[in-house]
Chain A
Amino acid sequence: MEKRIRVLVAKPGLDGHDRGAKVVARALRDAGFEVVYTGLRQTPEQIAEAALQEDVNVIAMSILSGAHPHLFPKVVDLVRKNGMDDVLIIGGGVIPETDIPALKEAGVSEVFTPGTPTGSIVDFIKANVK
């Protein structure tokens, strides 16, 4: 058996800040994960479909523009509708602390804000991936 953790790193919405997503993608690769990166400006539908075709274990979304309250829950919703109940969904970027409880309520397992050491992202995935 050669199971390897597969992660989709996605940038939903029109936000063009991709440094964080790339930093995270590289850190996850260095941790031994297979990282599918789909680039900028993805719709929630595209993210859910890519996750399905790639059969990823984790969806990691990055938003710095402020569009997270709408986009993150939308992706969770679509992914669950596709029957992918086990996928771990996490997010990061410029996200006010006050928004985080609602995102978690919506099914985002954890949210990582600026300054997060990438090691803690790796640890979280390893501890929570199914």
Chain B
Amino acid sequence: MDIVEELLKGNRLALSRAITAIENEYDDAVEIMKKLYPHTGHAFVLGITGPPGAGKSTLTDKLAKAYRAQGKTVGIIAIDPTSPFTGGAILGDRIRMNGLTMDEGVFIRSMGTRGSLGGLSHKTADAIKAMDAFGKDVIFVETVGVGQSEVDIVKAADTTMVVLIPGMGDDIQAIKAGILEIGDVFTINKADHDGADKLVRELNMMLDLDAHSEQMTQNSTEKALADQFHHLNVAKHAAGAAWRPPIQKVIASQNEGVAETIENIEKHFKYISENGILQQRRTERSKNEMLDVLHNNIGTYITRRLADTGELEEYVGQIKRRETDPYTVVADIMRDMLKE
């Protein structure tokens, strides 16, 4: 089977095989991506993140159905953690999405994090592109938690939705910085549980404070620091009035608040489209993509060469005996390479 040709014709098995090639880093993955690349750039990508059990998959199911009702085709990438001890994973997101399986306009793929932090975002980005080239109008990427790896994955999204639930206690404080930065749209799910209104109030306060402190730190020495921390959102305040992330109460399991959530998502997309932020984000993404491949390829190339010539082992020995240090060694290697 010619994977690319078949994928572009709408063959679902070909799409599936392409994603496998990406995930497993098969030799043909690069060729596949090269040929798919011209066909990408059309899909709207929504990142969905939040703590485990918040109802992300349940909500994804409902969102997907709503988009399908609008006649749009949907791709879903559901990422679950791989056990660091065994390398295995239980990928259970489909349990909440069984109603979508037989809809030909929906394609769901589960992925394990496989312990590769940087690598995962790279693979996720390529899996998104495969679905994009396949012709999906909307692509959801569900990830657990809001750690660094999620921030990376979120870079692949046009709009990022953070799903929180009442009763998380102090957790919200702990993940505050992370969620405030990456959320374009907030969803308080399980609004049928106590504490939803309290959480909405807390979150509102934090978001207002955040917007306020950003104004305060303009022109101050803190600005550099804040900018670094806010690198994901630099584009947020680029033009026009700043985007204030909306908060919506939802009961995903009862399909309540879903229409409003979609309105928020669409409002955000309209906002970033009209303010040039979408273009900026996509430019940033193209740059990251290129640099990712560059770093990856150069790193692999040099490592392989050093290993083949036996220099790697030699250097490691010298460093271990404290005859030299990693910085000097790498500077030497770079000098030699650049001379060639």
Q: Which residues of A contact B (CB under 8 A)?
A: 1-4, 25-26, 28-39, 42-43, 45-46, 49-50, 52-55, 82-84
Inter-subunit contact A35/B16 (CB<8 Å)? no
Inter-subunit contact B90/A4 (CB<8 Å)? no
Nearest Cβ in chain B — how far from A121, in angstroms? 14
Write the chain A residue with the least CB distance to B104. A49
Q: Complex Cα distance A130/B212, Å?
A: 58
Inter-subunit contact A50/B94 (CB<8 Å)? yes
A sample of 14 inter-chain contacts (CB < 8 A) reads A1-B26, A2-B114, A2-B116, A3-B24, A4-B114, A28-B88, A30-B83, A34-B112, A36-B92, A37-B92, A37-B94, A43-B102, A54-B109, A55-B13
Q: Complex Cα distance A38/B99, Å?
A: 11
In the A-B complex, the 3 residue pairs with the smallest Cβ-Cβ separation, listed nearest first, are: A29-B88, A39-B95, A55-B16
Chain B residues closer than 8 Å to A36, beta-carbon distance: 91-92, 94, 110
Q: Complex Cα distance A30/B5, Å?
A: 37
The answer, among B17, B101, B114, for a CB contact under 8 Å with A50, is B101
Chain A residues closer than 8 Å to B114, beta-carbon distance: 2, 4
Most buried by A among B12, B82, B88: B88
8 Å CB interface, B51-104 against A: 82-83, 86-92, 94-95, 98, 101-102
8 Å CB interface, B194-224 against A: none
Q: Is B235 part of the contact surface with A, judged by Cβ < 8 Å?
A: no
Write the chain B residue with the least CB distance to A42. B98
Inter-subunit contact A39/B98 (CB<8 Å)? yes
Q: Complex Cα distance A84/B107, Å?
A: 17
Q: Is B280 part of the contact surface with A, judged by Cβ < 8 Å?
A: no
Chain A residues closer than 8 Å to B1, beta-carbon distance: 83
Binding site of A, secondary structure by majority: helix, strand, loop or mixed?
A: mixed
User: Interface size for chain B: under 10, 10 to 19, 20 to 34, or 35 or more residues?
Assistant: 20 to 34
Q: Complex Cα distance A44/B93, Å?
A: 19
The answer, among B17, B91, B108, for a CB contact under 8 Å with A35, is B91
Nearest Cβ in chain A — how far from B283, in angstroms? 30
Interface readout for B5-24 with A: 1 if CB under 8 Å, 0 if not?
A: 00000001100110110011
8 Å CB interface, B1-55 against A: 1, 12-13, 16-17, 19-20, 23-26
Nearest Cβ in chain A — how far from B36, in angstroms? 16
Contact A32-B95, Cβ < 8 Å, known A2-B114, A82-B13: no
The answer, among B86, B98, B116, for a CB contact under 8 Å with A31, is B86
Contact A52-B12, Cβ < 8 Å, known A38-B94, A38-B95: yes
Nearest Cβ in chain B — how far from A25, in angstroms? 6
Nearest Cβ in chain A — how far from B16, in angstroms? 4
Chain A residues closer than 8 Å to B19, beta-carbon distance: 55
The answer, among B86, B89, B108, for a CB contact under 8 Å with A53, is B108
Inter-subunit contact B102/A46 (CB<8 Å)? yes
Inter-subunit contact B20/A55 (CB<8 Å)? yes
Write the chain B residue with the least CB distance to A33. B88
8 Å CB interface, B285-301 against A: none
Known: A4-B114, A32-B87, A52-B12. 20 other contacts (CB 8 A): A25-B90, A28-B88, A29-B83, A31-B86, A31-B88, A32-B88, A34-B82, A34-B88, A34-B89, A35-B90, A35-B91, A36-B91, A36-B92, A36-B110, A37-B94, A39-B95, A50-B94, A53-B108, A54-B110, A83-B13
Inter-subunit contact A53/B90 (CB<8 Å)? no
Nearest Cβ in chain B — how far from A32, in angstroms? 4
